[in-house]
Homo-oligomer: A and B are copies of this chain.
Amino acid sequence: MNNFVYYNPTQLIFGKGQLSMLKEKAQQLGTTVLMVYGGGSIKRSGLYDKILALLSDAGCRVLELPGVEPNPRLSTVKKGIDICRQEGVDWILAVGGGSVIDASKAVAVGVPYEGDVWDFYSRKATPNGALPLGTVLTLAATGSEMNRGSVITNWDTQEKHGASTTFPTFSILDPENTFTVPRDQTIYGMSDILSHVFEQYFTHTTEIPLQTRFAESIMKTVIENAERVLANPEDYDARANILYCGTMALNGTLPVGVTTDWATHSIEHAVSAVYDIPHGGGLAIIFPKWMRYVYRENVSRFVRFATEVWNVDPTGKTDDEVALEGIAATEAFFARIGAPTRLADYQIGEEKLQVMAEKATPFGPIGNFKQLHSEDVAQILRMAL
């Protein structure tokens, strides 16, 4: 186990009807709030009206930043920063999924910063202070509701980068608010959750039995609830289990003491910076190919993955065969739940493959399980065509 520091001060408010706690939270954080959201889904579901009523009860003046994109854009973030500065906003309420929360985090750290907020994402500066942020999560996926990560896309430069920004003060997670998530978004969300676990599970770090078992616990729970939630989108317990897995997959619990990887996320960010495809869809395509490309670096970890997570029977098989069977099971799972499996599913061919390979490695090689240079990324992308 490596040395580590763990810290996570977000208050997680989970369950049916927990939205009612928003009033009390709002009263603690201030009277002028910027409400950030995406498309119109929260208006159709009625969540928008409920939240406005609660904020009004709390005596808040509400400003709005609607229209945050699925891959949230720097230009949108800057609009939010301007509103906060002009209107003296006290705190931000993100209502939506990871994109809305990530954009809100960027606004929160951008307001007190004199330079360009993109500096945080291009690694030129680190945030020092932020407006308080609360979230009402509507999608099980990114874990952004309980970490300080934020991923923003700069369309001027076709770059998509992550930064460490600020923890939400509180996050309200009502599984019922995910009942209306469309089927494809539900699938992408589950792919995203599993991918987060993969990034933190495939490692050369030894003596991490508890971290390993926690990761396997999340994977098994997502897998056993995935088809259930797709069969009945209003299955409260299945939605709750997936929602809780999404948070635990990326709230800092899994990586303690572990050298994590994150190459596949860099590759996917490069793909969606160029083609604007859904993050979870991109991950479902690329991860199994990454696995095939790297598994020989530590076959025993992939053997464990195959036997523990996918119940592969190792009897009479070589380690290589068991490992490959686990990877095939991963691919089969993604196919079974209806996730995309090839870049061709998004009409992506090899035209910009080299561009994406370069974009995936802007600060040098990526990944720790196997260090990948742009030529490695190109090979993985070619496997995914």
Asked whether, in the complex, the Cβ of A14 is within 8 Å of the Cβ of B256, the reply is: yes
Asked whether, in the complex, the Cβ of B15 is within 8 Å of the Cβ of A7, the reply is: no
6 nearest CB pairs, A to B? A3-B15, A213-B217, A207-B237, A9-B9, A7-B11, A6-B12
**Chain B residue at minimal CB-CB distance from A249:** B210
Least CB distance from A216 to B in Å reads 8
**Other than the known A7-B12, A253-B253, what 11 A-B pairs have Cβ atoms closer than 8 Å?**
A1-B15, A3-B15, A4-B14, A5-B12, A5-B14, A7-B9, A7-B11, A207-B237, A213-B220, A216-B217, A244-B256
Residues of B close to A3: CB separation below 8 A: 14-18
Residues of B close to A217: CB separation below 8 A: 210, 213-214, 216-217
The reply on A13 being an interface residue by CB < 8 A is yes
Q: Name the contact of A224 in the complex, choosing from B10, B209, B216 (C-beta under 8 A).
A: B209
The reply on A180 being an interface residue by CB < 8 A is no
Cα distance A9–B10 in the bound complex, in angstroms: 8
Asked whether, in the complex, the Cβ of A11 is within 8 Å of the Cβ of B17, the reply is: no
Chain A interfacial positions (CB closer than 8 Å to B): 1-18, 206-207, 209-210, 213-214, 216-218, 220-221, 224-225, 237, 240-241, 244-245, 248, 253, 256-257
Least CB distance from A38 to B in Å reads 26
Asked whether, in the complex, the Cβ of B221 is within 8 Å of the Cβ of A213, the reply is: yes
With known contacts A237-B207, A244-B210, A4–B15 Cβ distance under 8 A: yes
Least CB distance from A159 to B in Å reads 32
Least CB distance from A12 to B in Å reads 4
**Chain B residue at minimal CB-CB distance from A207:** B237
Asked whether, in the complex, the Cβ of B11 is within 8 Å of the Cβ of A5, the reply is: yes
Residues of B close to A1: CB separation below 8 A: 15, 237, 240-241, 244
Residues of B close to A13: CB separation below 8 A: 5
**Chain B residue at minimal CB-CB distance from A206:** B237
Residues of B close to A8: CB separation below 8 A: 8-9
Least CB distance from A101 to B in Å reads 18
Least CB distance from A2 to B in Å reads 7
Residues of B close to A220: CB separation below 8 A: 209, 213
Least CB distance from A193 to B in Å reads 11
Least CB distance from A279 to B in Å reads 23
Least CB distance from A200 to B in Å reads 15
Q: Name the contact of A210 in the complex, choosing from B7, B11, B241, B257 (C-beta under 8 A).
A: B241
